[in-house]
Amino acid sequence: MIDLHTHTNFSDGTWSMKKMLEEAEKANIEVLAVTDHDTIKGQKELANMNYGDIYTGKLIPGTEFSVVHDGIYFHLLGYGFDYKKVEEWVTKECEERKLDVKEEFRLMCESCKKNNIKIGNLKYDKTMGWPVEVIFPEIKKHLENKKYFTDEEWNMERGYFERCVTNKKFPVYINVESIFPNAKDVADKIRKAGGKMFVAHLYRYHMDNKIEFLDKLREDGIIDGVEVCHSSFNEEQIDTLKKYCKKYNLLMSAGTDCHGDKKPDIKLGVGTGNMNVSKDLIYKWNPYL
C-alpha cells in the first residue's frame, strides 16, 4: 500500500514528522511521500534523523507547490528531487514568499466592478479574515447580484476562493499570477534537481473542462504524471485518469491528502474508505523505488 500525498505540521497538517512516520509504519504503508505545502523543511528534518528506526518502508521526497498556469491556480506535486539543489530558490520563492491577501482583495473588488456585481466601498485588513470572507457576504447583501451566479454558487457556504482562482467563467474570477509562482518555472526547477511533476487532485478544481486543462498541462510540458487516486475521487474519476495516463504514457501517483488530526476522516493509506492503492501503480517510477 502507498500514500504519496500527506502533510505534517511543517505546513497545514497536525502531526510532527516523527508522528507521521510512526503512523505510516502502523498502517503498513510500503511507500510514503510527505508533501508539505511550498516547503522543504520536512525533507531537511528527514535528512538529519535516523528515520529507518521508525519507518521501514520507502520514503520519496516530495513537496506540494501552489502555482499558476494560463491564469489558473492549482497544485503540483514534486517528487524525488534533491532538495539541496533547490533550497535557496524554495526558501525565497515559496517559504518566504508572503501571501499578499491585500492584493487578492483588490483583485476581487476589481472583478466585481468589471462584471457589474454590486458591492459597497469596502476596506480590508488581515484581521478581518480571508478576502473571500469579506467579499462574498457583501455580494449576498445585494439580491440583484444573484442573477450572476448559479443557485449552487449563490447558496454554497464554502468553496468561493477555489472558484475565484480556477474557473474563468466565475463572476468573481481573479488571475493570481502576481501572487503565486508560475507552474512552468517550478516544474523546470524541480526537474533540474532530478524530480518529476504531477498535477494534484484534478477533480477538486472548478474549471468547466478538467481534461482540457490536463491536456494543456501535458502539451505545455509541465507534468510528468497525474495523481490518479485521491480521497475525494470516485471510481469513475479514477478510471478516467488512469486511462488518460496510459494513453499519453504519463506516470501515476496516489495519495490520501492526510493532514493528521485536522482531517480525522482521512486516514493514511485508505483515505475516507478503502483506497488501499498497491505500489504496483508506480512501478515505472524507477529510480525512486
pLDDT of 86 above 60: yes
Q: Euclidean distance between the first and final Cα of the chain, in Å?
A: 13
Domains of the chain: 2-97+183-285 (3.20.20.140), 108-166 (no CATH)
From residue 260, how far is each of 23, 75, 164, 228 by CA, in Å?
Answer: 9, 20, 28, 22
pLDDT bucket at 99, cuts 50 / 70 / 90: confident
- In whole angstroms, what is the distance from residue 119 CA to residue 124 CA? 13
Q: Where are the alpha helices (DSSP H) in the chain?
A: 17-26, 41-47, 83-90, 101-114, 131-141, 151-155, 160-166, 183-192, 210-219, 235-248
- In whole angstroms, what is the distance from residue 97 CA to residue 103 CA? 14
The 10s digit of each residue's pLDDT in 227-262 is: 999 999 999 999 999 999 999 999 999 999 999 999
DSSP state of 170: S
Query: Roughly what angle, to the nearest 10 degrees, separates helices 83-90 and 183-192?
Result: 150
- In whole angstroms, what is the distance from residue 134 CA to residue 175 CA? 19
Of the candidates 262, 281, 258, 283, the residue with the CA atom closest to the CA atom of residue 27: 258
Q: Tell me the three state secondary structure of residue 228.
A: strand
Residues 6 or more apart in contact with residue 100 via CB below 8 angstroms: 178, 179
What residue type is 125 in one-letter code?
D
Q: Are 131 and 108 in contact (CB under 8 A)?
A: yes
Mean pLDDT for all residues in the chain: 94
- For the whole model, what pTM was predicted? 0.94
From residue 103, how far is each of 99, 167, 234 by CA, in Å?
Answer: 9, 19, 36
The 10s digit of each residue's pLDDT in 46-81 is: 999 999 999 999 999 999 999 999 999 999 999 999
Q: Are 119 and 138 in contact (CB under 8 A)?
A: yes
pLDDT of 203 above 90: yes
Span 31-36, average pLDDT = 97
pLDDT of 208 above 90: no
Dihedral (CA of 267, 281, 69, 216) sign: negative
